[in-house]
Every structure is written in C-alpha cells, then in structure tokens.
C-alpha cells in the first residue's frame, strides 16, 4: 500500500466531509446547499484515491529488487564457494551441492547444473562428472560419485 497516495485520498475524503458539514456548522440549517452537494461528490473521489493507493506498491517498502520497478540494489557481499577439500566431514551421497559458477542448487542425481548446463564437480576428486545409466559418474575411475576413489586434485587457487 502506498501511504503517500492514501494520505492524499484521506485528505480528499475529509475535505468532502468538511464541505457537507460546513453549512450546518455555520448557519445551523439542514438544507441542501451547494457546498454540501460538492462535499457529496468529492468524498467518493477520495475513496477511489484510497482504493488506488491500496493496490499500488510503495517503492520505499518493497524488498524484492527489480520486481516492482525498483532498481536492483548493488551487491555488497561477494558470493564465493569454499575450495574443495576444506570440508571437515565427508558429504552425504544424497546431499545437494552448489554450482561453482552460478551458485545454483544441484541435487545429487544430476551431473549437470540445471541453470548453466555445465558439468558438476565430483565431491571426492573435484573433476567434472559424466553420466552413465542416468547417474552421475566420475569419468577417471568409472564409478558412481559416492564411490569415487580417485586421488584428490590440488585446488587451482593453491588452497
């Protein structure tokens, strides 16, 4: 809800009520004057403005960047993946992983990233996976990924 537009609509509604009540407050007569007719016509317009404000988005309160015509906020945190071999425990065979390139979640039964279509790295040796009989397979040892017994490659960054 856009509060600034709603405030204008409430102001217009109050102006309509003031126009309806002005002749009664000043003259004490309850007859239909020009001000009261104007007040009866202005109040529904204010109600329409409030309804428009209720369905419009407030750019200051929208948190989804770029969805409601907001400019996407600059990224302040750089997302980097941990280098292979730094985990203190072995990964579970059915645990999902993240793509090193686009950070998409890759389930255990896929050998390629669903977003960028690049081969996923083996959790044991770090080489790109292949696919044999619809399951991720490490190409050098020709075993399924959980049973890979290749030697661990050093990380390219030297970590």
Query: Domain boundaries in the chain?
Result: 3-55, 88-148
Tokens representing 44 are: 């529904």
Interval 27-52 mean pLDDT: 89
Separation in Å, CA 123 to CA 52, 83, 103, 126, 150: 54, 11, 15, 6, 11
Q: Kindly tell me if the per-residue pLDDT of 22 is higher than 80.
A: yes
More confident residue, 38 or 64: 38
Average pLDDT score over the chain: 77
Which of 87, 84, 88 lies closest to 156 in space, CA to CA? 84
Any idea how long the chain is? 159
**Percentages helix, strand, coil for the chain, rounded to the nearest 5?**
30, 10, 60
91 backbone φψ class: left, alpha, beta (φ>0; ψ -120 to 50): beta
Q: Kindly tell me if the per-residue pLDDT of 64 is higher than 90.
A: no
- Inter-residue contact 71 to 34 (CB < 8 Å): no
Interval 114-124 mean pLDDT: 83
Q: What is the pLDDT of residue 74?
A: 59
pTM above 0.75, yes or no: no
Q: What is the pLDDT of residue 11?
A: 93
Q: What share of the chain has pLDDT > 90, as a percent?
A: 15
């Amino acid at each position: 809800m856009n509060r600034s537009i709603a405030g204008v609509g409430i102001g217009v509604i109050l102006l309509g009520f003031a126009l309806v009540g002005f002749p009664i407050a000043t003259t004490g007569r309850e007859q239909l004057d020009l001000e009261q007719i104007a007040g009866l016509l202005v109040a529904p317009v204010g109600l329409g403005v409030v309804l428009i404000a209720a369905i419009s988005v407030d750019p200051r309160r929208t948190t989804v960047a770029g969805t409601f015509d907001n400019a996407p906020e600059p990224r302040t945190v750089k997302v980097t993946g941990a280098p292979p071999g730094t985990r203190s425990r072995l990964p579970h065979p059915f645990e999902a992983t993240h793509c090193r390139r686009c950070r998409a979640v890759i389930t255990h039964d896929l050998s390629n990233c669903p977003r960028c279509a690049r081969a996923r790295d083996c959790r044991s040796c770090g080489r790109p996976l292949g696919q044999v009989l619809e399951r991720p397979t490490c190409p050098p040892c020709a075993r399924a990924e959980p049973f890979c017994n290749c030697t661990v490659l050093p990380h390219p960054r030297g970590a």
